[in-house]
Structure 1
């Protein structure tokens, strides 16, 4: 059985939402673990199978998946019925993969660098900067409601995450702000947040 290590109110929450969207939450065992938080609270949990004690971490028999974009891709490929990803052979497969990897390899790093006020020419030459990333999103979302067109997908779930977590601390264009609102209003998002908040409080 698939097993996922999860910590409430963390990057792993989006994967909880993904399980809900796929209608396969009962087919993935969730192990709740503690993690080290940015405020200094928490710490490594021996129950966490991730070698660095982070979340999310997915195991599938003897196989394992780490890094959130990889977990999202693995799950949408494993359970394609909900149409939340794009299967091999789909005409949008390349776009789907590109958004997932762009988020993990470019946008999340430049977002963290911008938040930490770290600036260096080598970083900009390699990754660009926050405004460049925001511009890429705006260019797409100014002409369509979601990253792959008219329907919410796992690419939107992953890429909208930082905006939902950090809110007004992350500058947005009108088109991006409207997209973030649409993503936040997905029923699965509310359910995932309610479950996590209840766990965190209890």
Structure 2
């Protein structure tokens, strides 16, 4: 059976939201583990098989997947009938994969560098800067509600996720702001966040 190793209110929360969106929560065993938090709390969990003690981490028998973009691709390929991905042969397969890799390889590093106020010409040349990332989102969303067109997909869930937790990074562009609000208003994400809040306060 598929097993997801998850820590509440972490990067893996977006994968829980994806699972909820896809309606496959009955096919995945979610194992809650602890992780080291930026504020110094938490720590490695001996029950977490991730080689670096991080989340999310997905296992499927002897196979294993780490990094959110890879997990998104893996799950949407495994369950193409849910419509959240773009399977091999789909005319938007390339765009779908490009956004997943753009998030992992460019967008998240840029957001972290901006948040920590780390700057250097080589970093900007390699990863771009926040203005460039936000401009790319604005261009992609010009005249359409979601990154791949009229329908919400897993790339919208992944690329909008940091803005739910980093409101200071909220772009000024109205079309990007509206997209972030549409993604945040998804019932699946709201349900997952509410469950995590209730579990935290219990």
* Alignment partner, residue 58 of structure 2: 58
* Cα pair 1:110 1:128 within 8 Å, conserved: yes
The answer for unaligned runs of 5 or more in structure 2 is none
- Which residue is 2:22 aligned to? 22
In the other structure, the counterpart of 2:71 is 71
2:169 is the counterpart of 1:170: yes
Q: Give how far 1:160 is off.
A: 0.1
Partner of 2:181: 181
Contact 1:11/1:55 (8 A) holds in 2: yes
Alpha-carbon distance in 2 for matches of 1:200, 1:106: 32
* Per-residue deviation, 1:196: 1.3
Which of structure 1's runs of 4+ aligned residues deviate more than 6 A? none
Matched positions, count: 201
Could you tell me how far apart the structure 1 residues matched to 2:88 and 2:198 are?
37
TM-score scaled by structure 2? Answer: 0.98
- Matches of 1:76 and 1:200, distance apart in 2: 29
- CA shift, 1:171, in A, is 3.5
Match of 2:156 in 1: 156
Distance (Å, rounded) in 2 between the aligned partners of 1:170 and 1:162: 9
Equivalent residue for 2:129? 129
- Give per-residue Cα distances to partners, 1:14-38, cap 9 Å, x unaligned: 1001111111101000100011111
Partners in 1 of 2:10 and 2:124 — Cα distance? 27
Q: In the alignment, what sits opposite 1:197?
A: 197
What is the alpha-carbon distance in structure 2 between the residues aligned to residue 34 and residue 198 of structure 1? 17
Counterpart-to-counterpart distance in 1, 2:138 and 2:4: 33
